[in-house]
Every structure is written in structure tokens, then in C-alpha cells.
Homo-oligomer: A and B are copies of this chain.
């Protein structure tokens, strides 16, 4: 199974990923890009994307990046993660890019950046840092 197929299978097994319409767009060792629409059901009072949506996609991109570096019969769970929100999620699409900062058997440190696309321009809206813990599926 390719790395991309493996990740898509794991994400497709999460109803949350289906609900937000997340797509796996790039998968490389230690790096994952995901995309999701800023859907009607995931907004703030002002119509911009909700921080919960930004967090969910950014966290999953970081976890996905970690999964690319663990054994095939393993996945990861988020132990802790922090998010700095930099700008409102204006536009139609979120793009999250997660990467591994430090691999490890017991802990994997990741960072993830989230961008909102509006009129074909990307704006940096959030940055996350966190710790993923591998476990056997």
C-alpha cells in the first residue's frame, strides 16, 4: 500500500474527517498536506471558519505527517498540541501542512501551518506545535 493510500484509509475511517470533507492532497515522508472546504456548518458568528475547524485540520495534518514515519501497523494519537490563531479563516478552502520536527519511537514532535484560500490567494491563519504518540493498530 502506498503511503498516500495508507493515510487516506486511516483518515476515511474517522467520521470527523468525512464530516468536514477533508482531502489528502500531498503525502511525503514526514510531510502531509490536507484540504477542507470552509463549510456552512463549521463557521463563526461572522461567517468565517471556526477555530475548531482550523484546529481539526491542522492537528490532523500534523498527525498525518507523524504517521508517515511509523511502522505500517501503527498510527498516532495527539498527546498535546497548541495553536496560535493569526488571522480570520476568510475564504472557501483551508489548506493544512504538517511536518515532523523530531521523529521518535515514543514521541514525535510536529508543527503544522494552516492557510485560508480566498480569490486564489493563500493567507497564513494558524500555526500549531504538538506531540504525537505512536500506537499499534
Contact = CB atoms under 8 A, between A and B. Distances in A.
Contacts of A52: 16, 20, 52-53, 55-56, 59-60
Tell me the number of copies of this protein: 4
A111 interface: yes
Given A41-B18, A44-B16, A50-B56, A109 B86 contact: yes
Interface residues of A, number: 45
A59 to B, nearest CB: 6
B84 A83 contact: no
25 contacts: A10-B45, A13-B45, A14-B43, A14-B44, A15-B50, A16-B41, A16-B42, A16-B53, A20-B52, A45-B75, A52-B53, A52-B55, A52-B59, A80-B83, A80-B85, A80-B109, A80-B129, A81-B82, A81-B83, A82-B82, A84-B109, A86-B101, A86-B102, A107-B107, A109-B127
